[in-house]
A and B are shown apart, each in its own frame.
Chain A
């Protein structure tokens, strides 16, 4: 499939397939689902735009609870309403929940096996690449949406808060969204003030 080409399908089957795939291929902690889900719902099925997906991830991050089920529920809701939300979550978690009960006795042996350890270890770099690509692309979007200097400034501030000071992502997202509500109005006022300054000096 070429980039930009989407398979615009919104039936239950594509929903189940998308959530099933993201459910069974998410290795490396809950957040590993973020780039996989993006591939399904933005690139493959085109249910939401990339910008909207970023918003959904941000708001989901600001709420408690596991990220995977929140994403599955909301995207299911977008495709088929409340029944879609239920089916999205079930398709996402059912396979691993069943495996957890059925395989539990065998899991200890699986965990000790070198083959299984190797398999899980080799997936890490792939997930890291997907995360890195997403970081780059959302950085690009920030440049477009906010302009170069604001993007760098707010990006650097987010970096200091999240990485250096280890503030909870939920708090940072809420603070940014709260300020965002006033950002455009503030910019307009600044712009007007600057123009009237120019008018006064000329």
Chain B
């Protein structure tokens, strides 16, 4: 019955965690630590911190690691499915519905109304990540890297992944010298 616990433990946080991956962390902690005792609070914090070292969504990294600890590869599979499948299927079905009525006034109005929300959401995210950056490496370096990457991506049309690799190189070689 372990697989059933894994299913429930990952399904609930991901169904109730509105606001993307990070929003489900406290809910997952509640299930994994308090409810099912898969790991201690300190262990959970450790997995979270180490997971953040790697790229990609945090929810799937947590699911992989904890799922494997609890029930091996079956645990990984079930934890990942519980994390991904419900919301992914919901998005596909909703977008299909939207696309079927694309010509209607209602859907055209919805599409238009969504643009300002996305713009503001992106402004808020820009602000948050910018703030994190200034706190970590200061104004001067943040601004120089930002200006350089804006120029590379917008004017030189360099692929963002390449710009990110460039930032990695700078951060790995130059930044350690400042500490």
Contacts and interface: CB of A to CB of B under 8 A. Distances in A.
Interface in B8-33: 14-22, 24
Contacts, number: 356
Contact of B176 (A68, A118, A126): A118
A69 B114 contact: no
Given A36-B161, A63-B87, A93-B56, A135 B50 contact: no
Interface in A164-197: 168-170, 172-173, 176-177, 179-185
Contacts of A95: 56
User: How many B residues touch the partner, as a band?
Assistant: 35 or more
Interface string B134-176: 0011000111011001100110010111011001101111111
Interface residues of A, number: 107
Contacts of A131: 122, 125-126, 129
A126 to B, nearest CB: 4
A74 B160 contact: no
Nearest to B149: A126
A137 to B, nearest CB: 8
B112 A25 contact: no
B19 to A, nearest CB: 6
A96 B168 contact: no
Contacts of A73: 84, 88-89, 91-92
Interface of A: 1-3, 21, 23-36, 39, 44, 51, 54-61, 63-70, 72-74, 77, 85, 89, 92-93, 95-97, 99-101, 103-104, 107-108, 110-111, 114-136, 138-139, 141-142, 145-146, 151, 154-155, 158-159, 162-163, 168-170, 172-173, 176-177, 179-185
16 contacts: A64-B14, A66-B87, A73-B92, A124-B130, A124-B133, A125-B141, A131-B125, A134-B122, A138-B115, A139-B115, A146-B113, A159-B120, A168-B19, A180-B114, A182-B109, A185-B109
Given A73-B84, A183-B113, A184-B105, 11 more contacts: A30-B21, A54-B111, A59-B94, A60-B91, A69-B57, A69-B83, A103-B54, A124-B142, A129-B153, A131-B126, A162-B121
